[in-house]
Structure 1
């Protein structure tokens, strides 16, 4: 009898644990991408390298340009390979934002193992953008490609006074033409000198290739760090923010009290048009204390998705209540940002899978993969 009682208690405990596990399993709606799986024994794919050197054109001296941190990557497909442009910091200062950032280049034939250039491919120089980019540098790129093979990168120009979104174009991802701040001409420069960053241009998969797309004859982007805003363009270079009747910026998505995005909703990699709507990938910062989601670490960055109307990019429909990717691995929680970060910026459709590249604790680069034919579960909560 005693053995039967023990068996029954064990069975009940097993059922309770199983039911609890199912209840805690993160589930995605049918419009969302994922889940993304971290490949075993691969990450981080890019880490700081103190041996890389180049002669900085502003300082006119040799700099170990990626010796302190390598993080926040953009990604694109070129010549059948995945190229990643990642933010790299030297040791010229102390603390996030007080060093100089440049963009490094790495390429891969499988999306997992990368060969890196020893010198950066995008950086502050003695050019027309120096006043916007020096001494803080060029930060946090997002890349997309047009149907004619022109790559466009949106990045933060950081002069340690005001962060601004800059834009540049290229045919090979290594030689770039800088076009300056994207809001320089809009509304007579009204928004040029307000802080603005994090641009996610609208793309679409056409015949297996993810390319920049238009809606109603206009290019669209989502942008913003605190709130999500939008902007349109005729030429990919000059952008006009969406505004309200009173001339203020139109907020499309804002932080939510009690959720993982309770402090910031910062745009991630290029948004994607689908038959169910436009999917915006974004980075949510969890507010510490009573206003955040207590299931996640205070001040941590987790990855979310929002759905917009496919015919009206300014109309939000819904978004995930819990992140699909969150800091779980040791390298995502140890670095110069100790609260934990999975900061998504680059995503590529490659061999019928989605390769998502992200910054880890503002120190390294990692990858997670979504296979639509065999989707994994999103990160648990």
Structure 2
């Protein structure tokens, strides 16, 4: 294993105590998995904020969105129809529920280390039935003056990819669900290739196939087709269970470089990288054999769901080699680390 991340000494950059809950009666349980972009001369993160009511010892309480607002559901802990083995998802009377309700919050920074919530910018919350369990893990792509926000939309109907667009981060247009369940981890390339939009995404199959990375193309960035599976899990490896794309791929002389996450059978989340052909990104030409980052620090090993490093946001420094990766640690904290793009590329194994 080779961890080449240079973690910020200020980590964690944000913890649940740093964010005010969205409403009375809820508390922030987790901050995680920020999308990252540059705007108005600053580095911004659109952070997933996961909330729930204060927990009592005799019951599990969790919120869901309804047409009239947030509704709190309470289930006795000894109810025989309750399955609460996972800290993130419970099953009750045959129905899956999230233990937290997530929305997206904007924070910004002059130095990339100290982030604040600016005035005049408001949270993004779920809208309608298909987002009634919340919206999560937003990736941001900037194309021709428009910011494309792809995020995980969760509801009783399943998990899909929603899309909103904006130019100023105050006015948004919703385009609904662009990839239906079960799908997530959608990252749109920040440059058109031969006049077409491209996006990585991750459909899932529990019986035939698996949790693999796919690519799709689009004329308008909203309606997608020509889906192709381009990267699969590997048996007896750090990415044997599931894989998913991080933020928008990075254009290099060697190809489109994508940072991705992978998990093993023990649900350890690590980061790796793969390289796609510049003219035809459906062709994967190289991939790392070992992780470039794995959970080793205490804040990555212990938290709401420990043993996790997960990224869906980064920015390049002016030197064009330093990649600043912002990531969720243990599904509870927001952290930062630096990588050398050249060093990542040197670890790729060409096929």
Pair in the same fold by TM > 0.5: yes
Normalised TM-score (structure 2) = 0.78
Aligned pair partner of 2:288 in 320, 324, 328: 320
- Counterpart of 1:259 in structure 2 is 237
- Is 1:223 aligned with 2:201? yes
Distance 1:358 1:90 in 2: 19
The alpha carbon displacement at 1:79 in A equals 1.4
The 1:280/1:371 distance shift into structure 2, 3 A limit, reads closer
Aligned pair partner of 1:74 in 35, 57, 66: 35
The 1:113/1:252 distance shift into structure 2, 3 A limit, reads same
Aligned residues: 296
- Counterpart of 2:67 in structure 1 is none
- Counterpart of 1:141 in structure 2 is 138
- Counterpart of 1:107 in structure 2 is 108
Root-mean-square deviation over aligned CA pairs: 2.4
Aligned pair partner of 1:156 in 149, 152, 155: 152
Q: Which has the higher strand share?
A: 2
Query: Secondary structure at 2:183's aligned position in 1?
Result: coil
Q: Which has the higher helix share?
A: 1
The alpha carbon displacement at 1:278 in A equals 1.3
Provide structure 2 residue ranges, at least 5 long, that are not aligned to the other structure. Answer: 54-61, 63-83, 89-97, 204-210
| Aligned 1:1-381 pairs, distance under 5 A | 26=2, 35-40=4-9, 42-49=10-17, 52-55=20-23, 62=24, 64=26, 67-92=28-53, 93=62, 95-96=87-88, 97-117=98-118, 121-124=123-126, 129-134=127-132, 136-148=133-145, 150-183=146-179, 192=180, 194-202=181-189, 212-224=190-202, 226-242=211-227, 250-287=228-265, 298-338=266-306, 340-352=307-319, 353-370=322-339
Residue by residue over 1:247-268, the C-alpha shift from the partner in whole angstroms, topping out at 9 and shown as x without a partner, is xxx3211110121100011111
Distance 1:317 1:356 in 2: 23
The 1:259/1:230 distance shift into structure 2, 3 A limit, reads same
The 1:374/1:230 distance shift into structure 2, 3 A limit, reads closer
The 1:50/1:311 distance shift into structure 2, 3 A limit, reads closer
The farther-off stretch of 136-145 and 347-356 is 347-356
Distance 2:8 2:36 in 1: 17
The 1:324/1:110 distance shift into structure 2, 3 A limit, reads same
Provide structure 1 residue ranges, at least 5 long, that are not aligned to the other structure. Answer: 1-23, 28-34, 56-61, 184-191, 203-211, 243-249, 288-297
2:43–2:112 contact (8 Å) kept in structure 1: yes
Distance 2:284 2:343 in 1: 28
Instruction: Tell which structure's C-alpha radius of gyration is larger.
Output: 1
Normalised TM-score (structure 1) = 0.72
2:311–2:325 contact (8 Å) kept in structure 1: yes
The 1:99/1:234 distance shift into structure 2, 3 A limit, reads same
